[in-house]
């Protein structure tokens, strides 16, 4: 029997802007703590949450930028980014745009992350 591959990993799904909810900042703070403990951290931005992926946008964006620099992965829904008019050249460096968000997001939740925060 193969051991569980999704050990010590945290997924953060953000679907709202930081203006709409303070929980995005709390989730990113938990991501910072998880990275410090040696856990793998991935962040997935969709819907209005794609705006948190802008460089130098303050609050959640700045902390998310640092989280990525420290080793977290950042995934942004391409469909939602295009619908919002999010300029690709203004997003956090290292972000990966995802075409098939439902397939990839379900795969991350089911196969990669053992803990998930949704906000």
Residue 4 has pLDDT above 70, yes or no: no
What is the overall mean pLDDT for the chain? 89
In this structure, the chain runs to a length of: 119
3-state SS, the chain, equals CCCCCCCCEEEEEECCCCCCCCHHHHHHHHHHHHHHCCCEEEEEECHHHHHHHECCCCHHHHHHHHHHHCCCEEEEEHHHHHHHCCCHHHECCCCEEECCHHHHHHHHHHHHCCEEEEC
pLDDT band at 110; cut points 50, 70, 90? very high
Superfamily for domain range 9-118: DsrEFH-like (3.40.1260.10)
Q: Residue range 60-81: average pLDDT?
A: 95
Rounded Cα gap, residues 78 and 50, in angstroms: 9
pLDDT digits 0-9 by tens, 75-105? 999 999 999 999 999 999 999 999 998 899 9
Instruction: Give the model's pLDDT for residue 54.
Output: 92
């Amino acid at each position: 029997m193969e051991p569980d591959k999704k050990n010590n990993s945290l997924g953060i799904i953000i679907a709202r802007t930081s203006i709409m909810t303070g929980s995005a900042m709390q989730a990113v703070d938990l991501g910072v703590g998880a990275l410090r403990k040696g856990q793998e951290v991935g962040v997935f931005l969709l819907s209005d949450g794609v705006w948190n992926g802008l460089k130098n946008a303050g609050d959640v964006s700045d902390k998310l930028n640092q989280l990525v620099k420290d080793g977290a992965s950042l995934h942004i829904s391409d469909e939602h980014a295009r619908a919002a008019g999010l300029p690709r050249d203004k997003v956090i460096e290292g972000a990966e745009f995802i075409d098939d968000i439902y397939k990839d997001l379900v795969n991350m939740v089911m196969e990669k992350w053992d803990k998930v925060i949704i906000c």
